[in-house]
């Protein structure tokens, strides 16, 4: 096997091999060298075994992973891949083999293994598919159906629209494409930033993969071969955002025990045997938990279950998701993407894409442009998309998949920011249009663009959703001197959530108080006590975040369940004026990155202050009314230049190396905070050849 590993000045791996299979092995090996602990955690999360070394806090996740049959689904999908596409299956197997080859040395670099008392496990050929499933099973936000059910029950059907907005449990992104007619080179630019929960090490990996068939730079997902989401082959580049489509269903099941097992009531009125077995989930420092795994004709049961042997039935929730039904996770798209030369090649590759459902933009050096939705969304009744539906009633079956929509460009520009766009027929909740509108306005402000210009868009802090609250403040009269002075400060504020802005801090404080006062209103009291669903689903059911992210709608609605909103805004303003924030927005708006070991020593950086906000292009999401700390934000930034790939740029929040205190662990953080980008190096002579310890 002939492979070579090079590194740029930021430690980003550039891999060169004699063939695609050898390259996949090298990618697995170098990822294990750089990210051994991260890969170990993701492997255990896919198998539902993370609580065994991370503790009881991960038990709810492990139970969901087991009950949703993630590992079993990964095995099924890999077996189907071997049958349908043996070349890709062998390529994935080579990646897993590479991980296994690199893990022992990678684990010796990573101090977390010793702290957790863990030795690295062995990856199976289907483990990358399991990691992909575990990473994205909550991506489409199916627990939001539980929230809608509760909201409609207590507030009526209009609550669906009032609260339908991209919230804290959903991953979003910005992305924009500028055609060659609008650039200084005559070739297209693609830029953007995926928004995910910020993890340390990061959820994205900068990498280059080169062999005689292809040479691709891009941003990969550690644990997954190839470059799925953001790539540049030299002649064609692509990028994605979350389409906000709804493609997973929850079914209310009626279950009963019999002398031989468990039965579920189907839509034809007959009881049918469900599969059933038990599993044991180990928990560090606590007794193991024995759980029951049940799967009906609709899907695996993820909440509730059958009662005892007494007559009658109990209700439970079953999850139906496409890979479990079809045995296809869409990995057949990955090799064709690497081999793509034109947008037509990318387009054909994406016909095999399954999940998550994305909006894709692509451009090539021949002037080709692409803007489409990719993924599989089942055709079924609208009720399925809104709430859990009764499994025992007909009319909720799946009937094929929707055709994925295509979209065009307007004046040489296409913008995607999770707004209601080409994927609108496929979803329910979309992001407010503020990010998309702002990006479009910034792009329209000048006739031509360069790759270096794009950083100004990535870091824009204008808050388009501030209007409704400021309008309510303007309508107040009879304010005391402190409240009046605070209101005047907010009227003078430029509506930018800059890190050093005292006006932004004051606005955020008033907004948080409004959210808390609204959430405390008696009309919402039933929603403050959600049903006893598993803890892992609770973020979608929490009232304060739901109020926070829907605040613009709630303040703008013509009527809100009889709530005296002027009184609430007045109370919030006076409360804040009595103890106004003394500092800037970044004093409280700080990065809160997730790490797998919560009790590990503090990172080698102080939690940095941030600019931006949920509805800014610089989307650093706090939860107003609960915390100003931001757990979600740009997990990478990129600019793909089709005129010259070496003029492309990228950056991640921390660095290329997942090992604490390694030279490239956090070396990109200052640039990420400043909105700067790292050059993409394509000249092999400018790279340093390295040999990782085997």
Q: Is 449 among the domain residues?
A: no
- Asked whether residue 260 falls in the same domain as residue 223, the answer is no
Q: Is 212 among the domain residues?
A: yes
Per-residue model confidence (pLDDT) at position 407 = 95
Q: Is 69 among the domain residues?
A: yes
- Asked whether residue 242 falls in the same domain as residue 253, the answer is no
Structural element, H or E, at residue 15: strand 13-17
Per-residue model confidence (pLDDT) at position 599 = 60
List, as one string, the DSSP characters of 367-406: S-EEEEEES--B---HHHHHS-EETTSSS----SBPPPPB
Q: Is 312 among the domain residues?
A: yes
Q: Is 450 among the domain residues?
A: no
The answer on pLDDT for 649 being more than 60 is yes
The answer on pLDDT for 694 being more than 90 is no
The answer on pLDDT for 602 being more than 90 is no
Domain boundary among 320, 345, 377: 320
- Asked whether residue 619 falls in the same domain as residue 679, the answer is no
pLDDT tens figures, 661-678:
999 999 999 999 999 999
Instruction: Tell me the pLDDT band of 307, cut-offs 50, 70 and 90.
Output: confident
CATH number at residue 599: 1.10.1400.10
pTM score, whole prediction: 0.96
Q: Is 455 among the domain residues?
A: no
Domain boundary among 581, 611, 631: 631
pLDDT tens figures, 505-518:
999 999 999 999 99
In angstroms, the CA 247 to CA 321 distance is: 7
The arithmetic mean of pLDDT across residues 418-445, rounded, is: 95
Whether 461 and 621 have beta carbons less than 8 Å apart is answered as no
Per-residue model confidence (pLDDT) at position 2 = 83
- Asked whether residue 184 falls in the same domain as residue 293, the answer is no
Domain count across the chain: 3
- Asked whether residue 627 falls in the same domain as residue 663, the answer is no
Per-residue model confidence (pLDDT) at position 515 = 98
The arithmetic mean of pLDDT across residues 39-60, rounded, is: 97
In angstroms, the CA 223 to CA 203 distance is: 10
The arithmetic mean of pLDDT across residues 218-229, rounded, is: 98
- Asked whether residue 231 falls in the same domain as residue 256, the answer is no
Half-sphere exposure of 425 (CA within 13 A, CB side): 13
Maximum Cα–Cα distance across the chain: 79
In angstroms, the CA 292 to CA 246 distance is: 28
pLDDT tens figures, 279-298:
999 999 999 999 999 999 99
Whether 167 and 244 have beta carbons less than 8 Å apart is answered as no
Per-residue model confidence (pLDDT) at position 110 = 97
Instruction: Tell me the pLDDT band of 259, cut-offs 50, 70 and 90.
Output: confident
pLDDT tens figures, 542-592:
999 999 999 999 999 999 999 999 999 999 999 999 999 999 999 999 999
The answer on pLDDT for 20 being more than 70 is yes
- Asked whether residue 617 falls in the same domain as residue 477, the answer is yes
- Asked whether residue 313 falls in the same domain as residue 358, the answer is no
Residue 624 is part of which domain span? 460-631
The answer on pLDDT for 604 being more than 70 is no
Q: Is 162 among the domain residues?
A: no
In angstroms, the CA 521 to CA 518 distance is: 5
- Asked whether residue 529 falls in the same domain as residue 567, the answer is yes
Whether 232 and 216 have beta carbons less than 8 Å apart is answered as yes
- Asked whether residue 467 falls in the same domain as residue 571, the answer is yes
The answer on pLDDT for 311 being more than 80 is no
- Asked whether residue 240 falls in the same domain as residue 254, the answer is no
pLDDT tens figures, 115-152:
999 999 999 999 999 999 999 999 889 999 999 999 99
Average pLDDT across the chain, whole number: 95
In angstroms, the CA 599 to CA 596 distance is: 9
The arithmetic mean of pLDDT across residues 95-114, rounded, is: 97
In angstroms, the CA 293 to CA 245 distance is: 28
- Asked whether residue 595 falls in the same domain as residue 573, the answer is yes
3-state per-residue secondary structure call for 165-218? CCCCCCCEEEEEEECHHHECCCCCEEEEEEEEECECCCCCEEEEEEECCEEEEE
Per-residue model confidence (pLDDT) at position 691 = 77
Per-residue model confidence (pLDDT) at position 172 = 79
The residues pairing with 634 across neighbouring beta strands, listed in sequence order, are 195
């Amino acid at each position: 096997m002939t492979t070579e590993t090079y590194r740029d000045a930021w430690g980003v791996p550039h891999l060169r091999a004699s063939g695609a299979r050898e390259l996949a092995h090298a990618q697995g090996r170098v990822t294990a060298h750089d990210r051994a602990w991260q890969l170990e955690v993701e492997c255990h999360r896919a198998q539902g075994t993370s609580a065994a070394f991370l503790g009881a806090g991960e038990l709810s996740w492990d139970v969901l992973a087991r009950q949703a049959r993630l590992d079993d689904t990964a095995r099924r999908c890999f077996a189907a891949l071997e049958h349908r596409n043996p070349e890709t299956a062998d390529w994935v197997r080579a990646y897993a083999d590479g991980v296994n080859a690199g893990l022992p040395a990678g684990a010796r670099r990573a101090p977390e293994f010793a702290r957790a008392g863990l030795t690295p496990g062995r990856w199976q050929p289907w483990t990358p598919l399991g990691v992909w499933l575990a990473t994205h099973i909550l991506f489409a936000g199916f627990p939001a159906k539980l929230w809608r059910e509760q909201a409609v029950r207590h507030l009526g059907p209009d609550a669906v629209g009032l609260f339908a907005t991209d919230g804290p449990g959903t991953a979003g992104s910005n992305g924009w494409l500028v055609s060659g007619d609008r650039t200084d080179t005559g070739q297209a630019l693609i830029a953007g930033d995926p928004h995910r929960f910020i993890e340390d090490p990061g959820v994205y990996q900068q990498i280059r993969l080169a062999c005689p068939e292809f040479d691709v730079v891009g941003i990969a997902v550690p644990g997954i071969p190839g470059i799925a989401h953001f790539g540049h082959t030299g002649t064609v580049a692509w990028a994605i955002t979350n389409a906000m489509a709804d493609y997973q269903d929850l079914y209310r099941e009626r279950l009963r025990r019999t002398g031989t097992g468990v039965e579920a009531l189907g839509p034809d009125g007959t009881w049918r045997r469900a599969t059933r077995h038990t599993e044991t989930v180990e928990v560090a420092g606590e007794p193991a938990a024995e759980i029951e795994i049940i799967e009906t004709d609709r899907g695996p049961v993820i909440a509730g279950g059958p009662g005892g042997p007494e007559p009658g039935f109990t209700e439970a929730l079953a999850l139906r998701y496409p890979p479990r039904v079809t045995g296809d996770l869409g990995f057949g798209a990955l090799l064709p993407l690497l081999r793509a030369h034109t947008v037509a090649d990318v387009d054909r590759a994406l016909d095999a894409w399954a999940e998550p459902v994305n909006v894709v933009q692509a451009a090539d050096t021949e002037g080709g442009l692409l803007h489409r939705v990719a993924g599989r969304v089942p055709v079924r009744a609208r009720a399925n998309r809104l709430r859990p539906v009764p499994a025992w009633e007909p009319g909720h079956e799946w009937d094929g998949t929707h055709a994925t929509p295509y979209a065009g460009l307007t004046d040489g520009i296409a913008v995607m920011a999770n707004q209601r766009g080409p994927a609108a027929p496929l979803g329910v909740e979309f992001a407010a249009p503020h990010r998309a509108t702002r990006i479009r306005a910034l792009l329209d402000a000048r006739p031509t663009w360069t790759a270096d210009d794009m950083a100004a868009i990535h870091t824009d802090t204008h808050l388009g959703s501030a209007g409704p609250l400021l309008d309510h403040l303007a309508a107040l009269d009879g304010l005391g001197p402190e409240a009046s002075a605070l209101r005047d400060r907010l009227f003078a504020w430029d509506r930018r959530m800059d890190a050093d802005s005292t006006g932004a801090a004051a606005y955020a404080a008033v907004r948080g108080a409004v959210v808390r006062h609204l959430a405390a209103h008696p009309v919402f009291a039933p929603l403050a006590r959600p049903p006893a669903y598993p803890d892992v689903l609770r973020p979608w059911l929490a009232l304060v975040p739901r109020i926070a992210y829907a605040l613009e709608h709630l303040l703008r609605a013509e009527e809100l369940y009889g709530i005296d909103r002027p009184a609430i805004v007045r109370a919030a303003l006076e409360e804040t004026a009595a103890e106004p924030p003394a500092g800037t927005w970044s004093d409280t708006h700080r990065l809160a990155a997730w790490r797998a070991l919560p009790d590990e020593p503090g990172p080698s950086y102080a939690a940095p202050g941030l600019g931006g906000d949920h509805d800014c292009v610089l989307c650093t999401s706090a939860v107003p009314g609960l915390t100003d700390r931001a757990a979600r934000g740009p997990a990478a930034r990129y600019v793909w230049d089709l005129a010259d790939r070496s003029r492309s740029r990228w950056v991640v929040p921390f660095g290329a190396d997942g090992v604490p205190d390694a030279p490239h662990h956090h070396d990109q953080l200052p640039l990420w905070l400043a909105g700067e980008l790292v050059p993409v190096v394509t000249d092999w002579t400018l790279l340093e050849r390295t040999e990782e310890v085997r």
